[in-house]
Amino acid sequence: MQDANNLTVRDVTTALESWAPPALQESYDNSGLLVGRMSDSVDSILVSLDCTEEVVQEAIELGANMIVSHHPIVFKGLKRFNGSTYVERTVMKAIAHGIALYAIHTNLDNVSDGVNMKLAKLVGCKPDSLRILRPKPDALMQVVVYVPEEQAQKVSQAMFAAGAGEIGAYDECGWTVPGKGTFRPLEGANPHIGIIGERESVVESKLEVVVEPWRLAAVISAMQNAHPYEQVAHGVWTLQQVHDQVGSGMLGELPQPMEEGAFLDTVKSALGCATIRHTNLLGRDVRKVAVCGGSGSFLLQDAISAGADVLVTSDFKYHEFFDADKRIVIADVGHYESEWQTTDLIVNRIKKYFPNFAVHLAEANPNPIHYR
């Protein structure tokens, strides 16, 4: 357990990134540390959906020197800092007061216990029915390494400890097969086994483990440190199958089928929506629900293909509503309404990692969109 009195920005970001690795953010995103240094100490943290001047002001008043927000305040390059836009003013104010700004955005959208899990539960889906709507391709790799039999256990343990072999609700998944390895040490080598110039054959184990790309460097390094050989024979492959624990949106089932209007009313009250924009009701019960916190119109076809009766998300454009085409009900609940619960999620996660640490939920965190 970390001493809450000596936390640094690095401690906080390392903890958050073990939950939502930055490598999972989308290409347009700018998650991560936007202002501040990793070595800065942190006394308390303010969590918000958006980082605005008001939120920075709240941090100043609370004495919080780190703000963790879902949306990054900076998305594109800033060339001037003269306070002409709210983005510049927010960044300038944070720097002036020594407040670190950290964003945990689409990487938190893309993990199975992130934004969409929370949203799916809020709209009433059974927790054990949840699965990622669009699993991420190219997010699994395989590492194969050849190890003298007696060191196989040590090497596999080191790789597991670095995060290899995690598949769904299982860890330490690996496969081992015995075989015979051959090699000939050349002049200048310093062999663990064998004599210079003579072919050696050794009973070895071939270890195979799956690894997520963002853990690959750590796993390879752990493997090489634990391996007795000077040159470690190994291979790394990108696997074709999708990673069902990471990706966009979520699909879930309701405990009981619900009439469409009744379901939309439930969603409206669960998310605190002033209104829901939706397509024609289709006169059938809602059993399967697809959700995506924030802008999720890109998942419409995935939701239809998965057999969802309703897609709960936001930011649909006028013409995109026609694409429902009587195959699904689109429920546009509003961007803020689909994501405000993310802040609770972040607060609880920080408290879990650092139980005695001061974490505040921002009050100045309003929806910029009003309805009347």
Measured in whole angstroms, how far is the alpha carbon of residue 235 from the centre of its chain?
A: 27
The yes or no reply on residue 249 touching Zn ion (CB under 5 A) is: no
> In which residue are the tokens 């002049």 written?
187
Considering beta carbons, is residue 90 or 205 the nearer one to Zn ion? 90
Closest to 260 in 3D by CA, of 317, 334, 330, 314: 330
Nearer to Zn ion, 13 or 69 (CB): 69
Taking the complex as a whole, how short is the minimal distance between the CB of residue 336 and Zn ion, in angstroms? 8
> Binding segment for Zn ion among 36-44, 60-68, 146-154, 286-294 (CB under 5 A)?
286-294
Pick the closer one to Zn ion by CB: 11 or 339.
339
CA dist list (Å): 52 to 90, 91, 334, 346: 6, 9, 19, 18
Q: Could you tell me the smallest distance in angstroms from the CB atom of residue 72 to Zn ion?
A: 10
**How far are the Cα atoms of 3, 289, 368 from residue 292, in angstroms, in the given order?**
36, 10, 20
Closest CA to 302 of 137, 138, 136, 133: 133
Gap between the Cα atoms of 119 and 290, Å rounded = 10
Query: Helix, strand, or coil here: 210?
Result: strand
Q: Does 72 interact with Zn ion (rule: CB under 5 A)? A: no
What six digits make up the tokens of 122? 């809020």
The least distance separating Zn ion from the CB of residue 365, rounded to whole angstroms, comes to 13
**Site track 330-349 with Zn ion (rule: CB under 5 A), x = hit:** ---------x----------
- Min dist CB 294 to Zn ion, Å, is 3
How many of the chain's residues bind Zn ion (CB under 5 A)? 2
Could you tell me the smallest distance in angstroms from the CB atom of residue 335 to Zn ion?
6
> From the CB of 347, what's the least distance to Zn ion, in Å?
17
Taking phi first (over 0 means left), then psi (-120 to 50 degrees means alpha), and beta for anything else, what does residue 163 get?
left
Q: Which is nearer to Zn ion, 75 or 214 (CB)?
A: 75
Residues 92-121 that bind Zn ion (CB under 5 A): none
Q: Which stretch binds Zn ion (CB under 5 A): 176-184, 238-246, 287-295, 305-313?
A: 287-295
Cβ atoms of 137 and 102 within 8 Å: the answer is no
Smaller CB separation from Zn ion, 45 or 119:
119
In DSSP notation, 147-167 reads EEGGGHHHHHHHHHHTTTT-B
- Judged by beta carbon, residue 117 or residue 143, the one nearer Zn ion is 117
Q: Which residue is nearest to Zn ion (CB)?
A: 294
User: Any idea what the Cα angle at residue 65 is, between residues 62 and 69, rounded to 5°?
Assistant: 95
Rounded to whole angstroms, how far apart are CA atoms 307 and 219?
A: 38
Select from 36-44, 274-282, 293-301, 307-315 the region that touches Zn ion (CB under 5 A).
293-301
Nearer to Zn ion, 29 or 339 (CB): 339
134-142, 204-212, 250-258, 289-297 -> range binding Zn ion (CB under 5 A) = 289-297
Judged by CB, which is closer to Zn ion: 100, or 103? 103
Nearer to Zn ion, 72 or 294 (CB): 294
C-beta of 87 vs 155, nearer to Zn ion: 87
Shortest Å, Cβ 59 to Zn ion: 21
CB of 114 to Zn ion, least distance (A): 12
Q: CB–CB of 139/242 below 8 Å?
A: yes
* 322/88 Cα distance (integer angstroms): 39
Phi, psi of 58 (to 5 degrees): -65, -40
Give the chain's largest Cα–Cα span.
Answer: 85
Task: Tell the smallest beta-carbon distance from residue 107 to Zn ion (Å).
Answer: 13
294 is an interface residue for Zn ion by CB under 5 A: yes
Site string for Zn ion, 295-334 (x = CB under 5 A): ----------------------------------------
**249 in Cβ contact with 132 (< 8 Å):** yes
Residue 200 — left, alpha, or beta (φ > 0 → left; ψ -120 to 50 → alpha)? beta
- The SS3 assignment for 344 reads helix
> Residues in the site for Zn ion, rule: CB under 5 A?
294, 339
